[in-house]
Structure 1
Amino acid sequence: MYAEERQQAMVQLIGQQGRVSVAELAANLAVTTETVRRDLSALERMGLIRRVHGGAVPASALAAIESGISERDQDNTEAKDAIAVAAIALLPPPGSMIIIDAGSTTARFAALLPRDHRLTVVTHAVSVAARLAGLPHIDLFLLPGRVRTTTHAAVGAETVAALSNIRADVSFLATNGISTTFGLTTPDRDEAATKRALAAAGRRAVVLADSTKIGVESSLRFAALSEIDVLVTDSGISDDDASALAAADVEVVIA
């Protein structure tokens, strides 16, 4: 099957089913998931489909499709657990300040913070704050703002303003998508502004994201690759993507 025929078949499947995963497309068309992701990126650039976490939807679907935190928490759990463990090795020394973004993988990371490692933690995530509140080795600061029902995270002008007065040692970030050409993205405007401020508030920016998010582009960029120091991901990342990230001076840690 030629690439044009394969891509036409993808558009038809997505149109018929409404939402199709990368794995389903790969199985249906007898190609690799890397091939599917490349085809989906091309089809999205042509305006024929929209990429979402783990797959694609028709171009006519709502622009701000975004799964909730409880739904995302059930996806790729083994990879997320391994990524959270690997990210612990990137903690700054005891007594440092870190920022933890809202996300299913960053929440796992927060739960693993070692008890003998005193830290100041700044977060806008209700789930992260709930895990850390009252722990004697954590000085916890919860950022102000409107809490979104989708992500359970405080966002908006108050959140951004509070972050402008903070300089943390490391920001641990989540993302909806990572493009080697466009950067890190999310579909919500307030979320994007807040994530941009979270990234800027840290001396180092570490992204925790499983490999299904690589190659996905949401509508709003909150960070270019040049603004990211480390990506912690799983072994599903392709060699091409790993090389592109390394060329952008992003250290890739495989969990």
Structure 2
Amino acid sequence: MLPIERQQRIIDELNINGRVIVAELVTLCQVSQETIRRDLTQLEKRGLLQRSHGGAVLSRKQAATAAGNTRAVNEYELAFRQRMNEQVEAKMVIAKRALDFISPGDCLLLDSSTTCWYLARQLPDIELTVLTNSLRIVQTLAPRGSIRTICLGGEYSDRYEAFHGIVAEQPLREFQINKIFFSCSSLGNDGYLREGNENNAHLKQQMLLAAERKHLLMDGSKFLRPSFARICHYRDVDFLITDQLTDKELEQELAWNGVNIIDCSQRNNAMQLIKN
């Protein structure tokens, strides 16, 4: 990696996380600590960051610029209509596996992710209460006679086809929700689940606080990717349901931190062996 590429990577990490740590940059860029420290010094001279103990943070000027450009950055996140056509097979497999964790009488909370929309489409018409901020999910469940559907109101976003804001958060305090199913934009190197939009991230934080059992539905393309706004650490999740988890080190870390991993690919491989 050329110095200019490495330094741009450092700036990208700063813009995403607000700070960088030398030890993490060494691993990320595969260079020595001395090289990273020289990069940080050069970037500080250019006014792009401010050195701190063991790393660096955005300079005041850059932080102000980043804050002012937040709305522009978020415009790059794909709309619901686009995301619903990505990783379709993986999302359907994950949604089908998630059905094993749903029982009659449950009070479920579904976020506005496309994966949860695939889950809603596969829900059987049994006695359930479903709370959601997703207009698509409300429309999907409307014909189900046995499912009581409650829409969390608030400010509507046509991009996400969902509601958010304080009004959407208030009803969460009124219900005893025993299970939440949710997704996110990414699971980063720092162990945090993130969203591409700060409003969505904040609402998901409140959703997680309101639910007893937390089920993360995430396809393999989202692992160890950067994204914008922090939701929570993976330690806060009870179950991870995914179509594939190829990073054995991450898998071990998740297990050590009490996350129950449901890898659909392992189940499919086992079924294939039985058939053969």
Q: TM-score range by the shorter chain?
A: 0.7 to 0.9
Task: Give percent identity, aligned residues only.
Answer: 22
**Aligned partners of 1:123 and 1:142 also within 8 Å:** yes
Matched residue, 1:188: 197
1:166 to partner: Cα distance = 2.4
Asked if 1:94 corresponds to 2:112, the answer is: no
Matched ranges for 1:230-241 at <5 A: 230-241=239-250
**2:140 is paired with a residue of what secondary structure?**
helix
Mark the CA change 1:244 to 1:80 in structure 2 (over 3 Å): closer, same or farther: same
Gapped regions of structure 1 (runs ≥ 5): 13-37, 49-58
Larger Rg: 1 or 2? 2
**SS class of match (1:231):** strand
Q: CA deviation at 1:83?
A: 0.5
Name the CA shift for 1:232/1:195 in 2 (closer, same or farther; >3 Å): same
- Which residue is 2:77 aligned to? 66
Distance 1:113 1:7, change over 3 A: farther
In the TM superposition, residue 5 of structure 1 has moved relative to its aligned partner by 5.2
Partner of 2:154: 145
Correspondence list, 1:153-172, <5 A = 153-172=162-181
Q: Structure 1, residues 6-62: CA drift from partner, whole Å, max 9, x if none?
A: 9949x79xxxxxxxxxxxxxxxxxxxxxxxxx859x9xxx999xxxxxxxxxx9995
Equivalent residues of 2:240, 2:260 under 8 A apart: yes
Task: Give the structure 2 partner of residue 173 of structure 1.
Answer: 182
Distance between the aligned counterparts of 1:88 and 1:163, measured in 2?
23
**RCO comparison, higher one (Cα < 8 Å, 6+):** 1
- Per the normalisation by structure 2, the TM-score is 0.69
Aligned-partner SS, 1:164: helix
Cα 1:244/1:121, change in 2 over 3 Å: same
1:109 match: 119
Q: Is the 8 A contact 2:245 2:263 kept in 1?
A: no
Q: TM-score, normalised by structure 1?
A: 0.74
User: Which position in structure 2 is the counterpart of 1:136?
Assistant: 145
Amino acid at match of 1:72: R
Q: How many residues align?
A: 213
Name 2:230's counterpart in structure 1. 221
Matches of 2:109 and 2:142, distance apart in 1: 15
One-letter amino acid of the counterpart of residue 101, structure 2: L
